């Protein structure tokens, strides 16, 4: 545990409090990653800044063009949101694969991105949905495509103390699927995961975006196969060819969970199955 935990009541109070805090500080949201890492002695901080009740990070709101999901929203809350079910089919498909119901009651989407794991299920789904991430630092705001937030395993483009405040998912009618291969069918970190969002028109793919988890240093947007899918019929032949193409786009490693070549192969299998599921 850190020496100090502070809990500002608002963003305004957060920006006022930060300068007086120890330099080795981290944000604490649901704590499912940060507390686990602290208990394991992997990461230590002098200070945690508890952002779990910041009202500015809460809620799911619809604007004319986007669904805005607060970074502090719990994964289980998203599961229950009618707006999320309407506009984020990939995320909805990913949620049952996310840890366990009790973990989903604690874990936030902001923490999933802040932890910057290549196997983050929520992030991978949102990258396929074409999401943007809203950031804020001492009142200054910026917005990035979510796929550009990650620079390496556990590394992001976040500036020091910069806070993820929300995710913006463009409102467009699309179908989505999320398939994850893990050591068990339930409650495990993935060996590989595939997220697909596709706008469909009369049996063809109008546009598609494919994202992959656990097969690259970051949650990966597969730009090549996404572009290739546009304009193709949504057929078994297209799914097989897309599967062959996606294998060339990933750079998996061998680690305790799986071997590189198996992961590459499974990306193809999962993408083929995901595309066929959209055709049904």
Ligand X SMILES: Cc1cc2nc3c(=O)[nH]c(=O)nc-3n(C[C@H](O)[C@H](O)[C@H](O)COP(=O)(O)OP(=O)(O)OC[C@H]3O[C@@H](n4cnc5c(N)ncnc54)[C@H](O)[C@@H]3O)c2cc1C
Q: Across-strand partners of 195?
A: 178, 211
User: d(Cα 80, Cα 149) in Å, to the nearest integer?
Assistant: 27
Greatest CA separation for the chain: 61
Q: What is the dihedral of CA 17, 18, 19, 22, to 10 degrees?
A: 120
Q: What track of x and - describes contact with ligand X for positions 51 through 90 (by CB under 6 A)?
A: x-------------------x-------------------
Q: Which of 36, 102, 251, 254 binds ligand X (CB under 6 A)?
A: 36
Tell me whether residue 18 or residue 279 sits nearer to ligand X (CB atom).
Answer: 18
Tell me whether residue 86 or residue 155 sits nearer to ligand X (CB atom).
Answer: 155
Give yes or no for residue 34 binding ligand X (CB under 6 A). yes
Chain Cα centroid distance, residue 57: 16
Helices (H), ranges, the chain: 11-17, 34-39, 75-80, 82-87, 89-94, 101-104, 109-114, 121-128, 223-229, 236-247, 260-279
Q: Which of 2, 11, 32, 275 binds ligand X (CB under 6 A)?
A: 32
Tell me whether residue 60 or residue 99 sits nearer to ligand X (CB atom).
Answer: 99
Minimal distance, residue 204 CB to ligand X, in Å: 32
Tell me whether residue 73 or residue 272 sits nearer to ligand X (CB atom).
Answer: 73
Give yes or no for residue 27 binding ligand X (CB under 6 A). yes
Are residues 181 and 190 in contact, defined by beta-carbon separation less than 8 angstroms?
yes
Q: Which residue's Cβ lies closest to ligand X? A: 111
From residue 226, how far is each of 5, 196, 207, 237, 260 by CA, in Å? 44, 9, 8, 16, 22
Minimal distance, residue 26 CB to ligand X, in Å: 4
Q: Residues 109 to 138: which contact ligand X by CB under 6 A?
A: 110-112, 114-115, 120-122
Burial class for 82, CB neighbours closer than 10 Å (0-12, 13-18, 19+) = exposed
Give yes or no for residue 103 binding ligand X (CB under 6 A). yes
Tell me whether residue 34 or residue 205 sits nearer to ligand X (CB atom).
Answer: 34
Tell me whether residue 50 or residue 241 sits nearer to ligand X (CB atom).
Answer: 50
Q: What track of x and - describes contact with ligand X for positions 142 through 181 (by CB under 6 A)?
A: ---------------------xx-----------------
Give yes or no for residue 212 binding ligand X (CB under 6 A). no
Which helix (H) or strand (E) covers residue 164, if one does?
strand 163-170
Q: How many degrees, rounded to 5, is the angle at CA 133 between CA 249 and CA 271?
A: 30
Chain Cα centroid distance, residue 215: 14
User: d(Cα 46, Cα 4) in Å, to the nearest integer?
Assistant: 6
Tell me whether residue 187 or residue 224 sits nearer to ligand X (CB atom).
Answer: 187
Q: For binding to ligand X (CB under 6 A), which residues are involved?
A: 26-34, 36, 51, 71, 98-99, 103, 106-108, 110-112, 114-115, 120-122, 163-164
């Amino acid at each position: 545990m850190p020496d100090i935990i502070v809990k500002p009541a608002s963003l305004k109070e957060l920006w006022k409090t930060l300068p007086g805090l120890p330099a080795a500080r981290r944000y604490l949201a649901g704590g499912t990653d940060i507390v686990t890492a602290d208990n394991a002695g992997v990461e230590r901080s002098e200070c945690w800044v508890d952002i779990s009740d910041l009202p500015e990070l809460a809620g799911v709101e619809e604007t004319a063009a986007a669904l805005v999901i607060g970074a502090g929203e719990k994964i289980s809350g998203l599961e229950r949101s009618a707006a999320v079910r309407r506009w984020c089919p990939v995320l909805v498909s990913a949620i049952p694969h996310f840890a366990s119901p009790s973990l989903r009651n604690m874990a936030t989407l902001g923490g999933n991105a802040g932890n910057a794991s290549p196997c983050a299920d929520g992030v991978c789904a949102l990258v396929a949905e074409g999401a943007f991430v809203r950031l804020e630092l001492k009142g200054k705001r910026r917005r990035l495509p979510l796929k550009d937030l990650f620079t390496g395993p556990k590394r992001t483009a976040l500036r020091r103390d910069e806070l993820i405040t929300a995710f913006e998912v463009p409102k467009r009618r699309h179908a989505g699927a999320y398939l994850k291969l893990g050591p068990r069918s339930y409650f495990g970190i993935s060996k590989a995961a595939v997220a697909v969002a596709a706008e469909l028109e009369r049996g063809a793919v109008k546009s598609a975006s494919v994202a992959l988890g656990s097969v690259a240093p970051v949650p990966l947007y597969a730009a090549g196969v996404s572009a290739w899918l546009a304009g193709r019929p949504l057929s078994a032949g297209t799914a097989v060819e897309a599967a062959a193409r996606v294998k060339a786009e990933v750079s998996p490693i061998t680690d305790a969970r799986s071997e590189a070549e198996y992961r590459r192969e499974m990306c193809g299998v999962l993408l083929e199955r995901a595309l066929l599921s959209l055709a049904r």
